[in-house]
Chains A and B, each alone.
Chain A
Amino acid sequence: MTKGEIVLGCLAPHPPHLVYAENPPQNEAFSEGGWETLRWGYAKLARKLKTIDYDAIVIFTPHWQTYIGTHFLGLPEFKSKSVDPVFPNLFRYNYDLKVDVELAEAMHEETEKAGIITKMMRNPDFRVDYGTITSCHLLNPDWDKPIVTISSNRNSHYYSNEVMIEQAKALGEACMKAIEKSGKKVVLVSSHSLSHRHFVTEAPLPEDMSREHIYNHSQYVWDMKIIDMFREGKMQEVVDIMPEYTEQTIAETEAGGLIWMMAAMGVPSYPAEIYGYQSVIGTGNCIACWDPNTNTRELVL
């Protein structure tokens, strides 16, 4: 069997506002638009994905929060409605998705071998989290590839950001082993914002862009620092600075997604492709990808 590989790693934030702003038929809410910088960036990255040959999307989501180990979706299909508990006015999305259970089980097995507590999720009534749905919808609106969703074990809450990093690294390395053994070509998705302090009030018209800005300047400066490192291919430095960055900006990196993806990809030392940065209800969101293929890697922004 050919050795499996990661063909792309994407940082794909999941504010439900972006799906709301697109008005896809799956979503019940209606908007007049908004957050175009991110949506146009997503559209460009989605076009790139269409040019890449891959078998499955593996996504790590902060909105399936587990405290007892790391869990994997373990049934072939999930069809239901996802209503965002925080922004139900924006996101009520009817989904119908396929799971690559074989790959999920392979990852579960390798992860267990690495000493990480794991569980397969096989309850058919389980509702897939809106982080998974938002990021996958924006990257692949056709939903024509199976996915694997990995829950986020909340080590930052229970222990520290340093422990989170160690666990996420081990998880990423185990997932990479499973991908290699599977012979499949896989796109990894780390679904999260950067700085993550929200405004606690909402404009009467949520898509009123005159009201949108980063929560405070400190968050912006930190986000720019991290994005500069992405551009320069300094991902080991990003890993090293992650505990302080996460603490200073209440970043959604606390869930471990970015570290997981970087570890699986061998901590890239090449530049990331940047597709956009914009705030959503005060949080900082960057769309980026790491393309291991030097022939297709490009300078986007």
Chain B
Amino acid sequence: MSEDSPILFGLYVPPHPQPLLSPDANQGYSNLRAAFETCRKRIEESDADLILVYSTTWPSVVGHQIQALKESIWTHVDDDFHYLGSMPYNFKIDTDFANEYCSAAKKRGLHARTVEYEGFPIDTGSVVALSLLNPDNRIPACIVSSNMYANRSETIVLGKSASDALIAQGKKAVIVVVSSLSNRMFTEHIDPADDRIHSSKDNEWNEKILQFFADGRLEDLSQLSREIHGQIRVQKVVAYKPAWWLASAMGQHNNYQGEVLAYEALHGSGGAVIQLTPSTGSFGDKEFDEDDVEFYQGDRNVLNKGNF
């Protein structure tokens, strides 16, 4: 851990339920499950006070939502993979941190709110991640949504707000991004034994991204997000945001020790379990012209200008 970072390490994990519900259906799913297990042990051995999850399968519309219900209990079923089984959960949420994160986001100009409702539908990706990484609720958690309209500046500021909140409370955290790499699934039901990455093109892009991760080049990945979105992401939302959030929360540089613990197909999509640990020394020195953002100023109202 670097001296000034409240984040012990970051994880990038897939949202699909197979590693949780059917790990033995395919060797790849087992490999992902084993990688989750490794991360679970590392979290246990760390002195983290908190696990903070940014989930791409929790879309929000009204600003950024932060889970704050102290005991979040329900039985979740995935919309597509309901036949794999149910996912009962009982998560211990750090309400104080949730409130601090919300406050920090507002201070940086974001519209944010906590959600604290019994029965709130925690998303598949968060349920899978917390069930496998923190099965005994040993460490309290918090989850933040991914606003479907948010683009780079808003997401960068959201990541920085996470760091602000951790520093304000003096907490050390493991942060977790829940996201696929390539996210194109097969559109038919398949025998899990036959699972593979949907296309060679997706696989080649995934491999390239994994090289960057393995080299600890997080900021380079952040800067490549728009390209990644165009190449291997189904256009459900406006941008590929996980690397923006991860980099801005952990530190916008390439000084990380990267480790790819597993990379496998999940119904055609690219699922990887990756760890990034802050370190010294830098790899890569790409320069970009997109501004670093400290405060979100809102929409520019381009549509309302020049009409009169």
Contact = CB atoms under 8 A, between A and B. Distances in A.
A69 B189 contact: yes
Contact of A68 (B115, B185, B234): B185
B8 interface: no
B153 interface: no
Q: For B62, B236, B303, which residue has the most chain A Cβ atoms within 10 angstroms?
A: B62
B108 interface: no
A68 B189 contact: yes
Interface residues of B, number: 36
Q: For B85, B118, B119, B147, which residue has the most chain A Cβ atoms within 10 angstroms?
A: B119
Contacts of B121: 83, 85, 127
A125 B80 contact: no
Interface string B218-241: 000000000000000011100000
Interface in B93-126: 111, 115, 117-121, 123
Contact of B62 (A66, A151, A158, A202): A202
A67 interface: yes
Chain B: interface secondary structure?
A: loop
Interface in B226-262: 234-236
A158 B187 contact: yes
A16 to B, nearest CB: 12
Interface in A131-179: 151, 153-154, 157-158
A83 B74 CA distance: 12
B83 interface: yes
Nearest to A198: B61
Contact of B185 (A67, A81, A122, A216): A67
B120 A88 contact: yes
B131 to A, nearest CB: 15
A87 B184 CA distance: 28
Contacts of B59: 85-86
Given A69-B189, A157-B235, A202-B62, A92 B119 contact: yes
A241 interface: no
A87 B83 CA distance: 28
Given A68-B267, A86-B60, A86-B62, A119 B83 contact: yes
A33 B77 CA distance: 33
B205 interface: no
A63 to B, nearest CB: 9
12 contacts: A68-B188, A88-B115, A121-B82, A153-B187, A154-B236, A157-B234, A157-B235, A199-B62, A201-B111, A216-B303, A218-B303, A281-B61
